[in-house]
Amino acid sequence: MLDARVQEKGTLVKSNAAAERRALGEARKIYNLPFNDLLFRAQSIHRAYFDPNAVQMSQLLSIKTGGCAEDCGYCSQSAHYPTGIKASKLMEVERVVAQARKAKEGGATRYCMGAAWRSPKERDMETIVSMVEGVKALGMETCMTLGMLTPAQSDRLADAGLDYYNHNIDTSERFYGEIITTRTFADRLETLANVREAGIKVCAGGILGMGETVDDRIAMLVTLANLPAAPESVPINMLIPIHGSKLADQPPVDPIDFVRTIALARILMPQSHVRLSAGRTEMSDEMQALCFFAGANSIFVGERLLTADNPGEDHDAALFRRLGLKPMPVQPAEAEPAE
Ligand code: SAM
Ligand code: DTB
Ligand code: SF4
């Protein structure tokens, strides 16, 4: 019996690996289409599921900055690198809610609160829950990114009414170990499963420009698209090189490769919100326009991300005017997990 089970499991693993290889092959073909064909395909799919001129607007706040025990090679907040970021304590609930109110006045519909933790401590959970409740009471969607979560912590956040949890896989499984050694790719997938199981919507994506190959980027998107349910939100970050971090001197990403990656994300995850995330201060308006055409339909607004700069309200208002874009209202349909 045991043998049969092991054999069955072996077959299952083998057939999953075969399916993944097929998916990877398909994704490579799409990625390498002539640029115009790729963008036409991505834009056609985008229009079938979304208003092509509407962009969802989220705003970030670092509720606990720096001093993080993890060694993520890209991060300003890791205690492993001399980045010059000072560690701070968890913010008070009232201050967080006051900042969220300002973000709402600036047009953000979702408030994303991030903490530089490996995972939340039990003693902080009550404060975190109050933050979710306070921001929700403003009528905003809530998102948190606090590191790894257990099933019990995920349930507690779900009960508090948390709408989204952000936890990125960052890159391909193959390249992951070059960037982070203090937690594994499998740990990341486990947190995503716990969040999904608790009924919280999933926000998961990665970073381009860390020294990965184009194939790593494609593999990352294939992994995300083949989760039991695709993430509702897929942030694609362009590395912001942080002075003192392990990745301080990476060369910039080729803008056309970046746009191709956005297009592939849109094609592989037609119903997900694809977010043009970190790195917009280094992108021209033309590059951002191409990203929106390729299917990006979400951004972070405001002057600041967690610790790094973001274009800010005036620049984004001008960009939206130039491109005829408008803010996306909160949609009840978004509540359905994508197939
Ligand atoms: N500590 C939590 C965690 O890592 O799970 C949450 C915060 S962390 C800053 C969230 C994500 O931001 C990372 O997974 C990474 O994808 C992205 N990120 C961090 N630093 C970045 C940088 N310098 N450039 C681009 N993206 C970055
Ligand atoms: C994500 O994918 N990007 C955001 C959010 N999730 C938490 C963070 C970007 C951080 C950029 C670097 C900084 O501000 O320190
Ligand atoms: Fe810590 Fe998150 Fe930065 Fe990694 S990305 S060092 S876990 S704050």
What is the predicted pLDDT for the residue at 14? Answer: 56
For 104, the 3-state DSSP assignment is helix
Question: Would you state the pLDDT for residue 204?
Answer: 98
**304 Cα–ligand 2 center, Å:** 10
CA dihedral 173, 178, 179, 181 (to 10 degrees): 90
Question: In this model, does residue 5 exceed pLDDT 90?
Answer: no
For residue 170, the ligand 1 atom closest to its alpha carbon is 16
The residue contributing the CA closest to ligand 3 atom 6 is: 78
Within 13 A of 259's CA, how many CA atoms are on the CB side? 25
Name the amino acid, one letter, at 128.
Answer: I
Determine which of 9-13, 80-84, 222-226 has the lowest per-residue pLDDT on average.
Answer: 9-13
Kindly give the number of the ligand 3 atom that is closest to the alpha carbon of 78: 6
| Ligand 2, pocket residues at CB < 6 Å | 60, 76, 112, 114, 145, 166, 168, 205, 235, 237, 240, 277-278, 305-308
Residues whose CB falls within 8 Å of the CB of residue 78, separated by 6 or more in sequence, listed in order = 68, 70, 71, 72, 116, 245
The DSSP output letter for 287 is H
Give me the amino acid identity at 181: T
Give the tokens for residue 252.
């910039």
The ligand 3 atom at the shortest distance from the C-alpha of residue 68 is 1
pLDDT band with cut points at 50, 70 and 90 for residue 334: very low
Please name which ligand lies nearest the alpha carbon of 67: 3
pLDDT band at 332 (very low <50, low <70, confident <90, very high): low
291 given a catalytic annotation: no
pLDDT at 15: 59
DSSP character string of 150-217: -HHHHHHHHHHT--EEE---BS-HHHHTTT--SS-HHHHHHHHHHHHHHTPEEE--EEE-SS--HHHH
With beta carbons less than 8 A apart as the criterion, state whether 190 and 147 touch.
Answer: no
Region label for 66, one of left (φ > 0), alpha (ψ between -120 and 50) or beta (otherwise): left
**pTM, 2 dp:** 0.94
pLDDT 10s digits, 282-317: 999 999 999 999 999 999 999 999 999 999 999 999
Confidence band, pLDDT 50/70/90 cuts, at residue 16: confident
Which is catalytic among the residues 41, 68, 188, 260? 68
Pocket test for ligand 1, best of 60, 64, 145 (most atoms within 8 A of CB): 145
| Cβ of 146 below 6 Å from ligand 3 | no
User: Are 106 and 54 contacting, i.e. CB atoms less than 8 angstroms apart?
Assistant: no
- Euclidean distance between CA atoms 328 and 259, whole angstroms: 21
Tens-digit pLDDT profile for residues 54-93? 999 999 999 999 999 999 999 999 999 999 999 999 999 9
